[in-house]
């Protein structure tokens, strides 16, 4: 069971590292650097979304963090070759899963498929980090309306009572994997749109239970600003989570005492 630390710092390893030994080495080094940090980093400080097959190998070493999956199938138990369903991830030890990352959407994941994935994962209380974000921004602000509709459609099968296991990541696609992150104020307006959509689905009290992350070219230099001015409860980090040093730099930046 995940006890929410705030802020939630999530790394997304994607198709890295090459071997489970490298993954274990990473987690061991990360744990050591957190333990010896001069900053007061909480007991459970990180989430790492890793390749499924590595998850059970990483868990015994991840004392100060959570290990989860990068995607899950929305299909039911049965005849679906190569598809891992939420109960299988959970039983294999995954603490959480990401759903709807733009790199998965790009491969053809439909809104219906995503809606089924999130409904099935939350049904068994598997903590879910659900990603949303516009491809580009238009001057009229239509992307905000599209963002809200996407949130509403994707969560259409989910009972609001299950919102407490839901984390939403705002990840503008134009800011992922590039050089230019969103600004904290761009992030803030998207967070308002997401909260509005959540409130229209489940009412304000349930909407408040959902923590929201920002993702897209996060680094040690901008991490704190998103948390302090971007209206988010955490960060979803791609490239900078794939090297121990850059990931620890972000944790230290977030937890630097003034
Ligand atoms: C991501 O892929 O979710 C992501 C945020 O990537 P990056 O941090 O590399 O932009």
Residues of the chain with pLDDT under 50: none
Residue 112 CB partners (closer than 8 Å, separation 6+): none
Residue 191: cis peptide before it, omega within 30 degrees of 0: no
pLDDT given for residue 5 in this prediction: 64
pLDDT 10s digits, 120-137 = 999 999 999 999 999 999
Distance 210 CA to ligand 1 centre (A): 21
Asked if residue 73 has its Cβ within 6 Å of ligand 1, the reply is no
Contacts 24+ apart (CB under 8 A), 101-104: 101/12, 101/70, 101/71, 101/131, 101/171, 102/131, 102/133, 102/171, 102/173, 102/176, 103/14, 104/71
Q: List the residue whose alpha carbon is closest to atom 6 of ligand 1.
A: 238
pLDDT at 6 (0 to 100): 77
CB hemisphere CA count around 70 (13 angstroms)? 20
Known active-site residue 171 = yes
Given 101, 109, 134, 148, the catalytic residue: 101
How much is the pTM?
0.97
The Å distance, Cα 52 to ligand 1 centre, comes to: 19
Please tell me the distance from the alpha carbon of residue 121 to that of residue 244, in angstroms, as a whole number.
29
């Amino acid at each position: 069971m995940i006890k929410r630390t705030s802020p939630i710092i999530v790394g997304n390893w994607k198709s890295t590292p090459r071997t489970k030994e490298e993954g274990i080495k990473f987690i061991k080094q990360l744990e050591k650097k957190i333990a010896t940090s001069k900053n007061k980093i909480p007991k459970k400080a990180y989430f790492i979304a890793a390749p499924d097959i590595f998850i059970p190998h990483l868990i015994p070493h991840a004392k100060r963090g959570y290990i989860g999956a990068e995607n899950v199938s929305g299909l039911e138990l049965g005849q679906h070759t190569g598809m891992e369903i939420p109960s299988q991830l959970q039983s294999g030890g995954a603490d959480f899963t990401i759903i709807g990352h733009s790199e998965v959407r790009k491969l053809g994941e439909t809104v219906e498929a995503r809606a089924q994935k999130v409904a099935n994962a939350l049904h068994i209380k598997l903590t879910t980090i659900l990603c949303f974000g516009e491809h580009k921004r238009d001057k009229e602000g239509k992307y905000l309306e599209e963002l809200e509709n996407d949130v509403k459609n994707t969560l259409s099968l989910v009972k609001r009572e299950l919102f407490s296991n839901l984390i939403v990541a705002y990840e503008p696609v134009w800011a992922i994997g590039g050089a230019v992150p969103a600004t904290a104020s761009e992030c803030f307006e998207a967070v308002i749109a997401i909260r509005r959509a959540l409130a229209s689905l489940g009412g304000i009290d349930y909407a408040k239970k959902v923590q929201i992350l920002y993702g897209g070219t996060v680094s040690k230099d901008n991490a704190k600003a998103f948390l302090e001015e971007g209206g988010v409860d955490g960060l979803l980090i791609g490239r900078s989570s794939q090297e121990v040093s850059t990931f620890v730099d972000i944790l230290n930046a977030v937890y630097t005492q003034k």
